[in-house]
């Protein structure tokens, strides 16, 4: 990666940023389901592993773009808890790419003030990868710039089950009165506790479903589904999605201003 160490937005007059983005309506947190690596490769007569390799390049471009646009948080869905059903060789290749990404990019991410969070159940993850993920979090813990959330061996239902078990243990230990359990109590025990909820979800490849991703956190997010495959995702693609987001009327269950009047 080659990015500035500052989270800078190239501004122009009247609160406008790159390509006319409205700086007053920027999403704080963007979540992305990075879909289509395999189909991208198949369409070009390449192996699925080559598609995943190109997908890693797209991750680098997107993190760089997030820094340049001044986003507070970026969450990427890198490996689902359901992906274990894929061929063993493909899983091994995915793990190898993750190893390379951390080893090659961690120093640059740290230099650019990125703080890494890993979400998901790490019990089944190979020990060496688990150690790398822990190391990445520890190395960047003090950083105050972009929060880069990597969902690895993650499933939304599993996350809710684990959070519920944690609350149940606290109730059993007498640390929590069941009558005081509210949304905040549950949110704080999710893997994403302490982070802002995503404002915008982007999914590539034309699929239009959540695939068990951030089921609680996406309750009020805006969804944008793109036809492009993940390896083709560029900064301009992100900017285009944010422009669509900025046209949405986010009422959070209320009425829009014209209807209120």
Q: How many domains does the chain divide into? A: 1
Q: What CATH code is carried by the domain that includes residue 73?
A: 3.40.1180.10
Give the β-pairing of 73-80 and 222-225.
unpaired
% of the chain surpassing 70 pLDDT:
91
Q: Do the domain assignments include residue 21?
A: no
Residue with tokens 């089921």: 215
The more confidently predicted of residues 197 and 249 is: 197
Task: Classify 195 in phi/psi space as left (phi over 0), alpha (psi -120 to 50) or beta.
Answer: beta
pTM for the complete prediction? 0.88
Residue 46 confidence (pLDDT) above 70? yes
Q: Which of 77-86, 104-113, 250-259 has the lowest mean pLDDT?
A: 250-259
Instruction: Judge whether 191 lies within some domain.
Output: no
Q: Which whole-number Å values give the CA distances from 210 to 33, 39, 73, 74, in the listed order?
A: 8, 19, 19, 17
Q: Regarding predicted confidence, which is higher, 77 or 250?
A: 77
Distance CA 183, CA 115 (A): 26
With cut-offs at 50, 70 and 90, classify the pLDDT of residue 51. very high
**Is 17 among the domain residues?**
no
Whether 2 is in a domain gets the answer no
Note the pLDDT tens digit of each residue in 120-157.
998 888 899 999 999 999 999 999 999 999 999 999 99
Is 198 a residue whose pLDDT tops 60? Answer: yes
Q: Strands (DSSP E) along 46-166, which ranges? A: 73-80, 115-119, 147-154
**Which pLDDT score, from 0 to 100, does residue 252 have?**
67
- The residues carrying an active-site annotation are 35, 83
DSSP 197: P
State the residue range of the domain holding 236: 26-155+197-246
Is residue 128 a part of any domain in this protein?
yes
| 3-class DSSP state of 220 | coil
- Would the CA dihedral through 242, 244, 247, 249 be positive or negative? negative
260 part of a folded domain: no
Please report which helix (H) or strand (E) contains residue 55, including its range. Answer: helix 48-69
């Amino acid at each position: 990666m080659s990015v500035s160490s500052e989270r800078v937005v190239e501004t122009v007059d009247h609160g406008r940023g790159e390509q006319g983005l409205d700086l007053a309506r920027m999403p704080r947190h963007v979540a992305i389901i990075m879909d289509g690596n395999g189909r991208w490769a198949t369409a070009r007569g390449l192996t699925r592993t080559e598609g995943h390799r190109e997908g890693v390049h797209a991750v680098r471009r997107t993190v760089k773009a997030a820094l340049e646009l001044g986003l507070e948080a970026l969450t990427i869905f890198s490996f689902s808890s359901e992906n274990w059903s894929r061929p063993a060789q493909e899983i091994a290749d995915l793990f190898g790419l993750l190893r390379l990404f951390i080893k090659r990019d961690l120093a640059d991410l740290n230099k650019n003030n990125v703080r890494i969070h890993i979400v998901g159940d790490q019990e089944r993850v190979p020990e060496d990868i688990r150690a790398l993920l822990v190391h990445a979090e520890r190395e960047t813990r003090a950083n105050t710039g972009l929060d880069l959330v990597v969902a690895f061996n993650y499933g939304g239902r599993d996350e809710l089950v684990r959070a519920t078990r944690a609350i149940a243990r606290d109730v059993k230990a007498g640390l929590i009165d069941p009558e005081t359990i509210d949304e905040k109590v549950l949110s704080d025990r999710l893997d994403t506790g302490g982070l802002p909820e995503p404002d915008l979800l982007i999914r590539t490849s034309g699929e239009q479903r959540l695939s068990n991703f951030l089921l609680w956190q996406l309750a009020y997010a805006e969804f944008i589904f793109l036809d492009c495959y993940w390896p083709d995702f560029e900064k301009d693609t992100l900017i285009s999605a944010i422009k669509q987001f900025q046209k949405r009327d986010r009422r959070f269950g209320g009425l829009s201003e014209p209807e209120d009047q």
